Amino acid sequence: MGDGVNELAFVAAWCLGVAEVTLEDRSRVDCLQDSVAWEVDKGANWKEAVGQALHYGRMTQRRPGILLTEPHDIHIHLLRQLVKHYGLDVKITAAHRQPDGTYDYEEVVP
């Protein structure tokens, strides 16, 4: 996360479930909600986020979710193309940092 933003603190503040859940294979879901297992990562890491989210979804029997922080338009575009091309059922949200340091959240439709 950019500008000194701590990912753990960000997830703890954003997650409306259980943050940092360790799974039986020792992988760690950033945010586990009743129906979504979320991977939270910087926009530039969207490719890695896909694999992690799919793994977490399979391991928890929940829909995989990706929350990209401060993504550029190209990150969203490429992620949408990939999800659509492979017919993946992935929930995608973008977190855009505002000048006052808060975030606006946008659900991305593939």
Tens of pLDDT, residues 72-81: 999 999 999 9
What's the whole-number mean pLDDT along residues 63-79? 95
What are the pLDDT digits (tens) for 85-98?
999 999 999 999 88
pLDDT at 49: 97
Q: Enumerate the domain spans of the chain.
A: 7-99
Structure tokens at 98: 């505002």
17: left (phi over 0), alpha (psi -120 to 50) or beta: beta
Whether residue 1 is predicted with pLDDT greater than 70 in this model: the reply is no
For 58, residues 6+ apart whose C-beta sits below 8 A from its C-beta are 64
Residue with tokens 């946008």: 106
Whether residue 34 is predicted with pLDDT greater than 90 in this model: the reply is yes
CA-closest candidate to residue 76, choices 102, 54, 44: 44
Q: How high does pLDDT run on average in the chain?
A: 92
* Per-residue confidence band for 5, with pLDDT thresholds at 50, 70 and 90: low
What's the whole-number mean pLDDT along residues 18-27? 96
